[in-house]
Structures are given as structure tokens and as C-alpha cells.
Amino acid sequence: MSLERKERFTANTAFPADRQQLIRERLVRDGRVLAAELAAEFGISEDSIRRDLRELAAAGVCQRVYGGAIAQAAANRPILERSRENIGRKQKLALAAVRLVQGGQLVFLDAGTTNVEIAKALPEDIGLTVATNSPAVAVALMDRDDIEVVLIGGRLDHQVGGILGGQALVDVQRMRPDLCFLGVCAIDIEAGLGAGTAEDAAFKRQLVASCGAIVAVATNEKLGTGAPFAIADIQDVGHLVVEADADANQLAHLARSGVEIVRAS
């Protein structure tokens, strides 16, 4: 008896910690595990497996069920949902927008929810540098080893969700991004691009001045509307990314200003 146990124990190269790690991996892969199955695989009794599962459940990794355990859906679900259907309008816009980006470039992502989606939509291993004044963009790119992130410093504007102010202006002045995704609040053929606050508009004006190419990404409700503070003329915009069902009439007017229209699918 004791011999059997000793034999198993020493022959088995797996520490409890390793074993639990393997169970974790299996949980994310399959979503569920069976106690009996694991016991057979590791060559130990189901009791020990149950102990492991109990600990993992206590750590919040999985949830115990009769016969085994299922993965705690919280961390997994969003990734799956994201890759599958349910792609929002802004995500479709983002997918169209990122096609304008090339590896090796210095790209500026302005503050805004759309630009956060663009950050998330950047292709794997594209290898570029992203400058931004948006903490949310930085967080979205935190786990991307192929993307160097440079954050503009300064006072955070809660309304805009980005860094604004004098120091930010100076910092942007010192860099020459190849491409800039401008977070516009309004875009109109006559009024041009507009923002909701004076400080935001001032920052975006500096962006337009500093960046080699400007891309505006606009959902339908932003087309043909004005905003209190002007940023730039339509002529300053290189590309305008719009939704698939954007108003054709508006687009025709805009295209006449020389801006290249990109339609999302």
C-alpha cells in the first residue's frame, strides 16, 4: 500500500500547484472539467482532484458542479462575444478604419469611444507605435506587446475622457505622427469639424497641425451636424470613415471637398 502510494507520488512529476495550473488551462480551453477524467489523467485519486477544484472554486476560477467544475464565465465570456457576432456599429467602423494603418507607423489615437474600438481592432502583430491622450486607449493596448504606447501627460478632462491642456499641446507639438484618428464630435460640409468644448477643440487643432494625415471616423449622427467650437476644415481631413448606411447625399457633398470616403461594411 504505502509502496504503491510512494511510487505514484514520486513518479508523478506534478506538484499540486502545477496540477491546478493544468486544470485552469483545461478550464479555459473546454469550459468544464470532469473530476473522474482528471483523476485518471493525473493518476491520482478523485479526492485530491476534488480538493483542487474546491481551492480553485474558492479562488473564483471555477464553479463546482456535480461531477466536476465549470469555468467562471466572467473573464472568458467577453472575449468570445467580441470575436463572434454582436459587433456594434463602432466596431464595424473600427474594422474599416484600421485598414488605413500600416506597420511601423506612429499613429495618434485621440480620445473617444470610437478610438478605443479602433485600438482594440488593430491587427495582431502589426508592430507600430501608438500615441494617445486617452487613458482608455492605453488600457486597451496594455496587453499588446507588438505596440509601443506613448501617453500624453497632463490634466484629465472627465467630459472628454482624455488629457487636455497646455502641456498636452506642447507634447503633441513635439511629435510628428504619420496618421491621426481624430475623435470628432460633429462634421459638416460648411462648419467643418467641431468639438464640444474649447479646450478639446484647441487640442484637436494642434493634432491637425502636427499629424501627417488625418482620419475622421464618424457615426451617422455626427454627419451634417455642427458643434460649438471649430477644429478644422473638411479639406484638412484625408480620410473619412463612415458607416455602411451613411447618407449618400451628405457623402457626395463631402467628397467634393477632396476628402476620401471609406465605407464600413
Partner DNA sequence: CATTCGTCTGCATGTTTGTGCATGATTTGT
Partner DNA sequence: ACAAATCATGCACAAACATGCAGACGAATG
What does the binding site for a second copy look like in residue numbers (CB under 8 A)?
Answer: 10, 13, 15-18, 32, 34, 36, 59-60, 63, 65-68, 70, 74-75, 78-80, 84-85, 87-88, 135-136, 138-139, 141-145, 148-156, 158, 161, 163, 167-168, 171
Which of residues 15 and 145 has its CB atom nearest to DNA in the complex?
A: 15
Task: Find which of a second copy, DNA, none residue 153 binds, CB within 5 to 8 Å per kind.
Answer: a second copy
The cell numbers describing 160, all together, are 472628454
Residue 200 Cα to chain centre, angstroms: 22
Radius of gyration of the chain (CA): 26
CB of 149 to a second copy, least distance (A): 4
Which of residues 126 and 251 has its CB atom nearest to DNA in the complex?
A: 251
CA distance 130 to 147: 7
Which of residues 233 and 247 has its CB atom nearest to DNA in the complex?
A: 247
Of 41-49, 92-100, 203-211, 239-247: span binding DNA (CB under 7 A) = 41-49
What is the footprint of DNA within residues 79-98 (CB under 7 A)?
Answer: none
The cell numbers describing 246, all together, are 451613411
- CA end-to-end span of the chain, whole Å? 67
Spell out the residues 6+ positions from residue 80 whose beta carbon is closer than 8 angstroms to its own: none
* Count of positions (residues) in the chain: 265
CB of 121 to a second copy, least distance (A): 18
Contact 209, 233 (CB under 8 A): no
CA dist 262 → 28, 98, 176, 185, 207 (Å): 38, 11, 24, 18, 21
CB of 70 to DNA, least distance (A): 11
CA distance 176 to 253: 30
Which of residues 39 and 126 has its CB atom nearest to DNA in the complex?
A: 39
Binding residue for DNA (CB under 7 A) from 23, 44, 185, 214?
A: 44
Which residues bind to DNA, rule: CB under 7 A?
1-3, 5-6, 8-10, 14-17, 19, 35-36, 43-48, 50-51, 54, 64-68
